[in-house]
Amino acid sequence: MVDVSELVLDLATILRPHSSEVRQQALCALQAMFGIDQQSSDSPKRRPDLYSATWRKIRTTVLAEQGTTCRYCGVDCSDDPTVDHIRPVCSGVSPFEAGNFAVSCRRCNSVKGGREGWQKTP
């Protein structure tokens, strides 16, 4: 059995000399790699952009323009639609960049995580 806390310590040592931007990207890549559910790991503190009035406005606009069909798997997610950043915010793009939004069901958005160019495999 691997001691996860040791791995985390190793990781912290590796990442320490890097800028906060690099650390955020590494974290994002790890989340994507291990399929960590963004929903449960996100808190308003960590991702304030997702809870701002600007974001709510964008979300409403995107849903009105694109409808509620998931861009990735094609299901109708009108009961619980999410708006995905096509280029993940952790890649450095602004969370409010126009044209970077895709309607996604919660499942696809969660699986996609911080990856760019993810496609659902049938």
Q: Which residues bind Zn ion (CB under 5 A)?
A: 70, 72-73, 105, 108
Cα(4)–Cα(72) distance, rounded to whole angstroms? 33
Closer CB to Zn ion, residue 35 or residue 48? 35
Angle between helices 4-15 and 20-34 (to 10 degrees): 150
Q: At closest approach, how far in Å is the CB of 75 from Zn ion?
A: 5
Closer CB to Zn ion, residue 24 or residue 68? 68
Q: At closest approach, how far in Å is the CB of 82 from Zn ion?
A: 9
Q: Rg of the chain over CA atoms, in angstroms?
A: 16
Cα(27)–Cα(7) distance, rounded to whole angstroms? 13
Closer CB to Zn ion, residue 58 or residue 105? 105
Q: At closest approach, how far in Å is the CB of 73 from Zn ion?
A: 3
Phi and psi at residue 83, to the nearest 5°: -110, 120
